[in-house]
Amino acid sequence: MPAPGWGWWVVVVALLLPFAYAFGFLFPRGDDFDEVTRAMFPFDLPGGLYEVAREWLTWSGRYTYHFLAVFLGKAGEIRPLYGLVCTGVAALFGLGLFGLARVVNIRRGPAAFCGLLGVLVVLAGHQSLPNFYLLTDALTMGLLQAMTLVFLWMVCRLWAAPAAEARKARRQTIIVGVLTVGVFEHSALAALAACTVAVLLALADRFARRETEPDVTQSARTRLRHMGILWLWIFGALLFSFLAPGNQVRRAARHIGADVQLRQLAAAFDEWRQVAFWFFDGLWPWAVLLLVLLLRGMRGQCPIVSKGTARSGLLMAILAVAAYLGLSALLTVLHALSDVTISSTGKLPAGLTIISAYACGFALWGLLNALPAVERSLARLPQWALMVALLIPLLALLVSSSNWRNTMTNAANGSMLHIGLQLQERYDTLQAMGDAAQPKDAPPRFGLLGEIYRPGARKRAVDPSLPMAVVQRSIPATVFPVQMDEALPAQAETWPNLWAAWMLGLGGVYSAPPVASAAVAVLEAPADMAAQKPLALGLPQALQDAGIDAAWLVRANGAPSNVQPTAATTTFSDLWLVLHGQDISKIERIAVLRLNKTDWRRLIPVFLQQFAASHILERQMLAGSTGGSSVYQQILVAVAGEQIHFHAEGWKVGEYLAVPVSQAVSAPRGLFVSLNNGPMLRLDLSKL
């Protein structure tokens, strides 16, 4: 099969752009706030080593993760570094597949293309994609999957290494394997399973062959010895991680006794059946098949397959499937004995799906080795036609995935840009408040020095001596895949708000929704007292028929009235859509389609933004969520703006209904409104 031409490279890179673009709009969430406070400075080496020892004794044996979480912890508050770390984790998938391609003698250029394609397959097909856009999840769930693939490459490289390079390859494989074990329990057991399969294959090869190989090639006996030594190292690292005293401390702290474990074990078989076969739910079977065929085709001329190779291939296929089934069952039992069952969160089965894809890939490779007639039949076809027949269905499959479509939509219509601007304003405001509250000669707060100068400070509580800050809850709260929920809950005492406050130098912080009555108050204020005059909007007849008699755009600060003036931040300043009607009570749901203004920072070119918005604004009505619409219209709507949905009950004030549609400083280019899942009706913003 010929090397991919520049056209294929352009297509794959273009399809990767939405995922790469999303890495630029990441802000701290969840455990990120905690990990930031554990690091003294970026790339905190002593802090990382100290964290490994402390966590091994007090919480868990995931030594690789605990080191990286502190060594890279400051990335949580450095936006470019945050995106680079998460990008690096995703890039490891490409490195692993590139390495595997090189092991099977694919040239560097086509191997790099396969690596890039592998990253696209993972991001488009992953069933828990937002894990890659959250730092602490990327360093656990994302890294364990990527490091498992890199370790598989290293094992295959060791298997194929010439005798003169085998020792060096073994040392490198041991290092990668030990690091893989320390990421997470899933990668630890996956590494041990891979080593076990390699030992069994080497053992079978040892019995099947005589010592007749030339000196430049590893003998079967030498290969078995290398694999056996690797297995011992991986098993030792696994014991070091799993027998850490911190694992028992964590179970005790979370009250996981024998009764809880027995109850969870009783349901383990049902859980295993539920999560072990997610691989078959989605694009994975077809993507893995097409990738394997592509890799085999790019090797060039088909090698002659001996009976021994065919037998080894069949054995590898059987062992790969058996290893995955055993691994998934063991992980289900392991989670049943812990505080988190494997089905309690979607990211655990999603990670298991990636490992099953690896097993399926190796099984298919082995089957094709065992059935050389299939490959000889494919080799008779025109090679350029075969490449087209493999790549076009694969790329079409990836483009049709919900991950790619949703990420591309939010990158193109400005949703990511708007949430990024909103959160950047939030954290800049909070950081300024925190910096102003800290004395100039304050001792270090973070990391190892923070624990020395402030003993007991990590036992977090609201500090009444420091400012309490309130920020507006993100609207919308979900922008796939960069934010799936509000990062700061509504109570200052809850996780992770205490750690966020400590990171920012505040006494406490929490979020609250803006208050609709503030917009109504501005609307009803006397003209001479209003800072800005509300803008009356033209109403379509369909809205008047629905009982709406007037609509305005109002700039107002919706900070809750029960919040101290010093605590409320400028993040509550919004542009509100206010509707008035005699029977507002009949409205249960309201949706707003906000057409964003053109901006070069959106992923698509400005002329396409203008084209989509102008065509949408030519229409007085668009199909709603329950109505049908053409594919062309759906694409235009997705590119031109974003829909924001509200339950109307929380936004009613007497005969008014007021909802925030954007930040006060950024007026939309157009607005459509839908009531009770009806059609989207355009509001006249010509006076804006």
DSSP class of 531: S
CB neighbour list of residue 115: distance below 8 Å, 6 or more residues apart? 93, 94, 95, 96, 97, 98, 101
Q: Which residue has the tokens 């007749």?
A: 212
CB neighbour list of residue 233: distance below 8 Å, 6 or more residues apart? 174, 177, 178
Task: State how far the Cα of 455 lies from the Cα of 449, in Å rounded to an integer.
Answer: 10
Q: Give the pLDDT of residue 215.
A: 44
**How many residues in total does the chain contain?**
688
CB neighbour list of residue 203: distance below 8 Å, 6 or more residues apart? 224
Task: State how far the Cα of 651 lies from the Cα of 667, in Å rounded to an integer.
Answer: 20
Work out the end-to-end distance of the chain between its first and last CA atoms, rounded to an integer number of angstroms. Answer: 59
| 3-state SS assignment for residue 183 | coil
CA distances from 408 to 309, 412, 480 (A): 44, 6, 10
Task: State how far the Cα of 277 lies from the Cα of 349, in Å rounded to an integer.
Answer: 9
Residue 149, beta-bridge partner list:
none
| pLDDT tens by residue, 241-267 | 999 999 999 888 888 888 888 999 999
Q: Is 606 exposed, middle or buried (0-12, 13-18, 19+ CB in 10 A)?
A: exposed
The encoded tokens of residue 615 equal 């065509």
The encoded tokens of residue 230 equal 């690797």
CB 577 within 8 A of CB 658: yes
The encoded tokens of residue 663 equal 């930040």
CB 676 within 8 A of CB 583: no
Cα 379 off chain centre by? 39
Q: Are strands 656-663 and 573-581 parallel, antiparallel or unpaired?
A: antiparallel
Spell out, as residue ranges, where the chain has pLDDT lower than 70. Answer: 209-218, 300-308, 527-532, 624-628, 687-688
Task: State how far the Cα of 222 lies from the Cα of 243, in Å rounded to an integer.
Answer: 32
Q: Is the dihedral of CA 418, 420, 425, 426 positive or negative?
A: positive
| 3-state SS assignment for residue 146 | helix
**Which backbone phi and psi does 682 adopt, to 5 degrees?**
-80, 135
Task: State how far the Cα of 502 lies from the Cα of 131, in Å rounded to an integer.
Answer: 24
CB 590 within 8 A of CB 674: yes
Q: Which of 559, 460, 471, 544 is nearest to 502 (CA)?
A: 460
DSSP class of 586: G
Q: Which residue has the tokens 């969520």?
A: 625
Q: Which of 617, 367, 480, 478 is nearest to 132 (CA)?
A: 480
CB 280 within 8 A of CB 324: no
Considering all CA atoms of the chain, what is the largest pairwise distance in Å, rounded to the nearest integer?
99
Q: DSSP labels for 421-475?
A: HHHHHHHHHHHHHHHHHS-TTPPP-SHHHHHHHSTTTTS----TTS-EEEEEPPS
| 3-state SS assignment for residue 607 | helix
Q: Which H/E stretch holds residue 622?
A: strand 621-622
Q: Which CB contacts under 8 angstroms, 24+ apart, belong to 290-293? A: 290/390, 290/391, 290/393, 290/394, 290/397, 291/114, 291/117, 291/118, 291/121, 291/361, 291/394, 292/361, 292/364, 292/365, 292/368, 293/378, 293/390
The encoded tokens of residue 36 equal 């930031």
Q: Which of 536, 514, 540 is nearest to 523 (CA)?
A: 536
The encoded tokens of residue 664 equal 């006060």
Residue 310, beta-bridge partner list:
none
Give the other-Cβ count within 10 Å of 687's Cβ: 9
Q: Which H/E stretch holds residue 187?
A: helix 185-208
CB neighbour list of residue 378: distance below 8 Å, 6 or more residues apart? 293, 297, 386
Task: State how far the Cα of 307 lies from the Cα of 375, in Å rounded to an integer.
Answer: 15
Q: Give the pLDDT of residue 688.
A: 62
CB neighbour list of residue 517: distance below 8 Å, 6 or more residues apart? 561, 653, 658
Give the other-Cβ count within 10 Å of 237's Cβ: 23
